[in-house]
Amino acid sequence: MTKKILRSIILISSLSVVITAVIIVLLMNSRFYEKAEGELKTEADLISSGIELNGRDYLDSAEFNTLRVIWISPENELLFDSESKQEDYDSIIKSPEVEEASQKGNDAVSRTSLSVSEIYINYAVRMNDGTVLRISDVRPSFIAQLGEIIYPLLIFTAVAAIASLLLAKAVSKRIVSSISEIDLDNPKIGKSYQELSPLLTKLHAQNTKISSQMAELRHYREQLNLITENMSQGLIIADYNLNILVCSSGALRLLGTDEVREGQSIYSLNDSDAFHQCIRNAAGGRHSECIMNTGNGDRAVIASPSNSIDTVNGIVVFIMDVTEKQQLETMRREFTSNVSHELKTPLTTIYGISDMLANGIVKHEDVAQFGENIRKEADRLITLINDIVALSKLDENSVPQENEEIDLYELAAEVISRLRRSADEKNVSMSIAGEHVLFTGNKTILDEIIFNLCDNAIKYNKDNGHVEVKLSHIPKSVFITVSDTGIGIPNQCLDRIFERFYRVDKSRSRKIKGTGLGLSIVKHGVIYHHGTIRVDSTAGKGSVFTIELPVEKKESVQQA
């Protein structure tokens, strides 16, 4: 703005100087010629008076300097010429001033250009005897006069330009400083030019409106941030160019991204092909869903377009952690598959034997053996169903609250007594140690806990192995420890042994009687009593299961 003001002032000043100089020269030139014509007229009056008094003798004796004096008779004969130039006489006779003076009797003036730099000023007057006196004088032309002052004019113009520059700087700084000092956030008319008052008034009104809108936007933005930051799910909003407008911290956490800036491409949040395809579908106007794995779990991505008629203005993306859901779904499929398999095996055996008996293809002496096989498979089937029912009740926390005070030592001794026959068949010795510990809980569940641990300890023990149940307590907890000298559990399998139907060595476990639900029942039974279970095992040397149950009575919790 300062430069524009400087250029404008300098240009206007220079043009003003030049135009003023030209006008002055024109005015001076006009006055110059008027004065010259007046002087010629005076000379003509003097000469005409001299001729009337002395006649030709006056002309012969007078000195006219630069003047050319011509005396013409009424018959247009040349009576006198101070320069004796006969060659232009005809043009002089026909000159307008001579013709006007001779015909009308008036004095007349004309100008004749000799060259670019000189002009003849001619004056003619008719005397009393009818003769015409013509006087001519050479004067400089307008161009010549202008040429004489051109250099002073240029110098003056340069001085004026410099003065204008200095003045323009001062003026422009003053103008611009007054404008630049205006507080755009709170413009005050009194401290600036009055000419700007309409603009400043409108600017103040616009600022008030914008401030109100900004405050409202900040309020909405804070509400949006408050809502999105407290969501366990992730929320991402992107514009039609797929640049991020809003991204909650939950979305960053679920996608495993540390930081995001506004305007960043949504594609940069995750490199998954499934994620990118989901975003592309939404950008194309189609609702899209996918499941992707981030390394920290499974994430469900739901992307929807924001449409305006036929145009996609942006997309909204929801991200949810479905790791547990996926794991539960996997467990459900595995459980269904395992239950189907476990139920199918005894049923197939029972059906096959029954079919043979019904068709009479079994020898009479073998009927008892086949009946025993049916009984064993039916017993296995009943045991499996009972375990599934028990586990289902523990899952749903639907076990009746039949808590009573139990002597865990006596309960363990009873369990060992029931398993003595199985232990003898496997050539495994059993013992109980510790003290009589009283605990208030569900006797049926505690019985199943100790029974399943001891039953597994027998099944997976070695020949001449040993199983020990030890009971102890501290002021706030009781401990049930079941140890064996069996085959042990590899370290990589310890985290999965409580899963339903999970078997460390499937080929060997199929040969061992059992449903594969024992340890899962143990885990849920311990949780039912708000306790914890710990396993220490060394492959080939044995395992130790330690259960800690709190003595203080607590309400049971819902098992997820």
**Residue 248 has what pLDDT?**
80
Residue 170 lies in a domain: no
Domain end call among 290, 321, 352? 321
Domain end call among 147, 165, 197? 147
pLDDT by residue (tens digit) across 473-499?
A: 988 899 999 999 998 888 888 878 887
DSSP track, 334-390? HHHHHHHHHHHHHHHHHHHHHHHHHTT-S-GGGHHHHHHHHHHHHHHHHHHHHHHHH
Are residues 332 and 316 part of one domain? no
Alpha carbon distance 64, 51 (integer Å): 14
Q: What CATH number should be reported for the domain holding residue 407?
A: 3.30.565.10
Average pLDDT for residues 195-200, to the nearest whole number?
70
Are residues 105 and 21 part of one domain? yes
Residue 484 lies in a domain: yes
Q: How many domains does the chain have?
A: 5
Domain end call among 295, 321, 347? 321
Q: What CATH number should be reported for the domain holding residue 287?
A: 3.30.450.20
**Residue 527 has what pLDDT?**
87
Residue 57 lies in a domain: yes
Q: What CATH number should be reported for the domain holding residue 373?
A: 1.10.287.130
Are residues 298 and 216 part of one domain? no
Helix (H, G, I), strand (E, B) or coil at 537: strand
Alpha carbon distance 231, 318 (integer Å): 11
Q: Which residue has the higher pLDDT, 157 or 46?
A: 46
Average pLDDT for residues 247-264, to the nearest whole number?
79
Are residues 523 and 443 part of one domain? yes
With the CA atoms of 32, 38, 41 and 43 taken in that order, what torsion angle do they form, in degrees rounded to the nearest 10? -80
Confidence of residue 356 (pLDDT cuts 50, 70, 90): confident
H/E/C letters for each residue in 203-220?
HHHHHHHHHHHHHHHHHH
Q: What CATH number should be reported for the domain holding residue 36?
A: 3.30.450
Confidence of residue 516 (pLDDT cuts 50, 70, 90): low
Parent domain of 248: 231-321
Are residues 203 and 341 part of one domain? no
Residue 121 lies in a domain: yes
Are residues 315 and 335 part of one domain? no
Residue 331 lies in a domain: yes
Confidence of residue 195 (pLDDT cuts 50, 70, 90): low
Residue 168 lies in a domain: no
- CB 450, CB 412: distance < 8 Å: yes
Answer yes or no: is pLDDT of 554 > 60.
no
Average pLDDT for residues 517-532, to the nearest whole number?
85
Answer yes or no: is pLDDT of 430 > 90.
yes
**Residue 346 has what pLDDT?**
72
pLDDT by residue (tens digit) across 368-419?
A: 887 887 887 777 677 667 766 666 666 656 555 668 899 999 999 999 998 8
Are residues 456 and 408 part of one domain? yes
Answer yes or no: is pLDDT of 543 > 70.
yes
Alpha carbon distance 300, 325 (integer Å): 10
DSSP track, 77-115? -EEEETT---TTHHHHHTSHHHHHHHHH---EEEEEESS
Instruction: Name, of 302-311, 421-430, 507-516, the range with top average pLDDT.
Output: 421-430
Average pLDDT for residues 121-147, to the nearest whole number?
80
Residue 116 lies in a domain: yes
pTM, two decimal places: 0.41
Are residues 408 and 339 part of one domain? no
Residue 171 lies in a domain: no
Structure tokens at 330: 């996997």
Q: Which residue has the higher pLDDT, 99 or 430?
A: 430
Are residues 60 and 11 part of one domain? yes
Answer yes or no: is pLDDT of 429 > 80.
yes
Answer yes or no: is pLDDT of 109 > 80.
no
Are residues 125 and 6 part of one domain? yes
H/E/C letters for each residue in 167-197?
HHHHHHHHHHHHHHCCCCCCCCHHHCCHHHH
Are residues 134 and 196 part of one domain? no
**Residue 509 has what pLDDT?**
47
Q: Name, in order, each residue with C-beta under 8 angstroms of 246's C-beta and a sequence gap of 6 or more.
A: 224, 228, 235, 236, 237
Average pLDDT for residues 136-157, to the nearest whole number?
74
**Residue 393 has what pLDDT?**
63
Average pLDDT for residues 66-84, to the nearest whole number?
82
Answer yes or no: is pLDDT of 215 > 90.
no
- CB 497, CB 509: distance < 8 Å: no
**Residue 15 has what pLDDT?**
79
Answer yes or no: is pLDDT of 305 > 80.
yes
Are residues 132 and 57 part of one domain? yes
Answer yes or no: is pLDDT of 336 > 70.
no
